[in-house]
Structure 1
Amino acid sequence: MAARKHFLVLLTLIICATACTAEQVGAPRPAPRISAPPSVENLPSTKVRSVVDGRTVELADGTRARISLLAEPVSCNAAAALEFATKTLLDKEVRVSSITPGEVSLILPDGTDFALAAVSAGVLRTSGVDGGPLMEAETQASKAKIGLWAQECPTSTPAPPPPVTSTSAAPPPAPPCVVAYRINSTWPGAFQAEVTIRNVSGALINGWALRWRFPDGQTITQMWNATASQSGADVTATNAGYTALIVPDGSISIGFNGSINGLNSVPDAFTLNGAACTVG
């Protein structure tokens, strides 16, 4: 009788092991699908219909856009920047990624970002970049002395020409703009300021660059309603897409946070698209 009981227990264990094994070695369940990250191929494609300057293009649908993260072409290298952009982009199929209103990132057919290609070739500088591939490319171009780095390109606002002393000369035209610079608040090592630009030229302003020089070594850390670029004490504020237009007798305001080390004197001169403004 004991042998029979042992046999039944052993048979039960064998049946259970067989069933469990069959369940484990059954058809595997499919693994969950993981969505692939977005790629360049998923970006919308279009053609560049015209090239306005080294960093401004018109797309096939008539949209005019500024290429993100690129500074305004330096005057002494503007022709080379335009030539490079025209050769690289005109009538070319590109993929477009929108960054901010009025600004785009353009990906070339070989997958290269145009901004990176332009900076690597030394035809344009970066703007609003703190690090990464664009800054590395600008550093390498500067070290290699290529493109605009191979010539003496001033980064500061040129001094206005001396006044004409001839009694027969016509009086100089009235400044086309009035700039008001106001410090809103100050705290240890930093401050916040607002700059208002008023168009008194009598004509529509479509796209602008405001320049000034800080007298006490102030540094801009953040700007809104415009894009800031700074070289030493010299600052250039370039319009955002939504602040490009200033109607006659209209005005726009930009603001920024800055750092200070001691004094925080107000700049005493401003230029708008190269023309001196009245400070008021």
Structure 2
Amino acid sequence: MVLLALFVTACTAEQGGTPSPAPRVSSSSPSEAEPSTKVRAVIDGRTVELADGTRARISLLAEPPSCAAAAALDFTTKTLLDKEVRVSSITPGEVSLILSDGTDFALLAVRSGMLRTTGVDGGPLTEAESQASQAKLGLWAQECPTSTPAPAPPSPSSTAPPAPPCVVVYRVNSEWPGAFQGEVTVRNASGELINGWTLRWRYADGQTVTQMWNAAVSQSGADVTVTNAGYTALIVPDGSVSLGFNASVSGANSVPDSFTLNGAACTVG
């Protein structure tokens, strides 16, 4: 009877009694660390190329201003090039890089003042940026222009024609019925030596040159052409030569209003 009672008790405990606790299931193993790789190229301060050829932008870092881009590139190159990093993807085309000592590169770059944050509202990155700004670190130590500078004004040579290379003074020294005597002075304002020259002008009132000294003269209608004599061929810079002449005239005797020397227009003095 005792044995029967024990057997019934045992069966009752297994079928209708309190169930035995379920066996413990071991907790899942911690997630494996992000894969490790190398940075084989640095494109700019916030863009890298990984060992497998993937090119990605480092998340949460703003593009540096142009005046700080070179320093940012140098910092990123020294910190990441050929270094082992762990990679985690944030958004397509962007990554987060963890250095071998566990430091987040974005946080390091912002804390050093080499790059600024973007798309961040609070947290360690915002705090690091505030501290770098207050300490005037990296790009915070320099003032970058906030707008494109206005183009430099064009040089005077591109806005104004060059000064005439010569100055001509024409005067009538004396007049008598049907004729007059005149003088022309030519000054070299070119700044260079003139060796041989031709002076031209045009009369408006039918004047005709009949004789000239210190130069040879020819005339076709109203157009007068004067060429140097052998002893007047050279005109030094700021030097001058004077020509005398006799001419006939009938009626008015206006002064020519334009002269050219070797094809260049002269100032009329």
Q: Normalization by structure 1: what TM-score?
A: 0.47
Q: Normalization by structure 2: what TM-score?
A: 0.48
**Structure number, greater radius of gyration:** 2
